[in-house]
Structure 1
Amino acid sequence: MKRVAIIGSGPSGLSQMRAFRSAEEKGAQIPEIVCFEKQSDWGGLWNYNWRTGMDAHGEPVHAGMYRNLWSNGPKECLELADYPFEEHFGKPIASYPTRPVLADYIKGRAEKSGIRKWVRFNTPVRMVTYSEARSKFTVMVHDRMKDVVYSEEFDHVVVATGHFSIPNVPFFEGLDTFRGRLLHSHDLRDVVEFIDQDVLVVGRSFSAEDVASQCYKFGAKSITISYRSNPVGYNWPDNMTEVPLLERVEANGRTCRFKGGFTKDFDAIILCTGYLHDFPFMAEGLRLKTENRFWPMGLYEGVVWESNPKVFYLGMQDQFYTFFLFDAQAWFVRDVIMGRVVLPSGEEMAAHSRKWKVVEEKTYATQDIVQMIWFQADYIKELVAQTDYPLRPDDVEKTKQHGLEWKLNKDENIMGFRDQVFRSVVTGNMGRKLDTPWLTAFDDSVESYVK
Structure 2
Amino acid sequence: MPSSKTKVAIIGGGVAGLIVARHISSRPEDYSLTVFEQTNQVGGTWVYTDDTEYDKNGLPVHSSMYKNLRTNLPKEIMQIQDFPFKDQDGPSFVHHSTIRQYLQDYTQHFNLYPYIKLNTAVNYVEPETSATGQINWLITSKDLITKIEATKNFDVVILCNGHYTVGNIPRIRGQETFPGDCIHSHQYRVPDNFSGKRVCILGASWSGIDIALEVCKHAEKVYLSHNLTELLDTKMSDNIEHRPGINYIDGKTFHFRDGTSADIDNFIYCTGYKFTYPFMSDKVEIRTDDNHVEPVYKHLVHTDMPNLFFMGLPGLVIPFPMFHIQSQYILRILDGRIKLPSCEEMRLDYEREKSMLLQQGIPIRHIIKMKERQWDYYDEIAAAANVPSFPPVIKKIYDYSNKMRELDFMIYKNYQYKIVDKNNFTVRYCKPC
TM-score (norm. length: structure 1): 0.86
Deviation (angstroms), 1:427: 7.8
Aligned position for 2:120: 123
Aligned position for 1:326: 323
CA gap 1:422/1:285 in 2 versus in 1, 3 angstroms: farther
Matched, 1:405 2:405: no
Matched, 1:344 2:341: yes
Instruction: Assess if the C-alpha contact under 8 Å between 1:222 and 1:239 holds in 2.
Output: yes
Aligned position for 2:260: 262
Deviations 1:46-93 (A, max 9, x none): 0101112111111111111110101112223322000111xx33x422
Deviations 1:345-389 (A, max 9, x none): 1233223324443554466659x99x9422112111111223354
Separation in 1, partners of 2:46, 2:323:
15
Instruction: Assess if the C-alpha contact under 8 Å between 2:76 and 2:418 holds in 1.
Output: yes
* Residue number among 298, 301, 306 corresponding to 1:309 in the alignment: 306
Deviation (angstroms), 1:309: 0.4
Q: Residue 418 of structure 2: SS of its match in structure 1?
A: coil
Q: Residue 324 of structure 1: SS of its match in structure 2?
A: helix
Deviation (angstroms), 1:195: 2.7
What amino acid does structure 1 have at the position aligned with 2:221? Answer: S
CA gap 1:57/1:362 in 2 versus in 1, 3 angstroms: same
Deviates more, 1:192-201 or 1:149-158: 192-201
Deviation (angstroms), 1:344: 1.7
Deviations 1:400-427 (A, max 9, x none): 2223212321222111111123333888
CA gap 1:434/1:333 in 2 versus in 1, 3 angstroms: same
What amino acid does structure 1 have at the position aligned with 2:21? Answer: M
Deviations 1:248-298 (A, max 9, x none): 3324xx2222223212122211111111111111112425323576x8542
CA gap 1:103/1:428 in 2 versus in 1, 3 angstroms: farther
What amino acid does structure 2 have at the position aligned with 1:383? Answer: I
Q: Residue 416 of structure 2: SS of its match in structure 1?
A: coil
Which structure 2 residues correspond to residues 41-440 of structure 1 after superposition, within 5 A?
A: 41-85=41-85, 88-89=86-87, 91-133=88-130, 135-216=135-216, 218-228=217-227, 230=229, 232-233=231-232, 234-251=234-251, 254-290=252-288, 296-357=293-354, 360-361=357-358, 365=362, 372-387=370-385, 389=387, 392-393=388-389, 395=391, 397-424=392-419, 436-437=431-432
Separation in 2, partners of 1:161, 1:100:
20
Separation in 2, partners of 1:408, 1:431:
15
Instruction: Give the gaps of 5 or more residues in structure 2.
Output: none
Separation in 2, partners of 1:220, 1:288:
42
TM-score (norm. length: structure 2): 0.90
Instruction: Assess if the C-alpha contact under 8 Å between 2:315 and 2:370 holds in 1.
Output: no
Deviates more, 1:261-270 or 1:152-161: 261-270
Deviations 1:197-221 (A, max 9, x none): 22110112222111112213x4322
Instruction: Assess if the C-alpha contact under 8 Å between 1:292 and 1:317 holds in 2.
Output: no
Matched, 1:8 2:7: no
Separation in 2, partners of 1:57, 1:133:
36
Instruction: Assess if the C-alpha contact under 8 Å between 1:94 and 1:432 holds in 2.
Output: no
Separation in 2, partners of 1:342, 1:261:
56
What amino acid does structure 2 have at the position aligned with 1:409? Answer: M
Separation in 2, partners of 1:127, 1:55:
20
Instruction: Assess if the C-alpha contact under 8 Å between 2:139 and 2:152 holds in 1.
Output: yes
Q: Residue 406 of structure 2: SS of its match in structure 1?
A: helix
Greater percentage in strand: 2
Deviation (angstroms), 1:148: 1.2
Instruction: Assess if the C-alpha contact under 8 Å between 2:124 and 2:281 holds in 1.
Output: yes
Deviation (angstroms), 1:340: 2.5
Deviations 1:108-148 (A, max 9, x none): 11111101111111111111111112632100111110011
CA gap 1:316/1:425 in 2 versus in 1, 3 angstroms: farther
Q: Residue 183 of structure 2: SS of its match in structure 1?
A: strand
What amino acid does structure 2 have at the position aligned with 1:19? Answer: H
Instruction: Assess if the C-alpha contact under 8 Å between 1:286 and 1:311 holds in 2.
Output: no
Deviation (angstroms), 1:163: 1.4
Separation in 2, partners of 1:117, 1:364:
47
Deviation (angstroms), 1:34: 0.4
Q: Number of paired residues?
A: 422
Deviations 1:287-326 (A, max 9, x none): 5323576x85422221111110010011112232211111
Q: CA RMSD in A?
A: 2.6
- The structure with higher relative contact order (CA 8 Å, sep 6+) is 1
Separation in 1, partners of 2:52, 2:242:
28
Identity %: 26
Instruction: Assess if the C-alpha contact under 8 Å between 1:204 and 1:231 holds in 2.
Output: no
Instruction: Give the gaps of 5 or more residues in structure 1.
Output: 442-451
Separation in 2, partners of 1:37, 1:109:
16
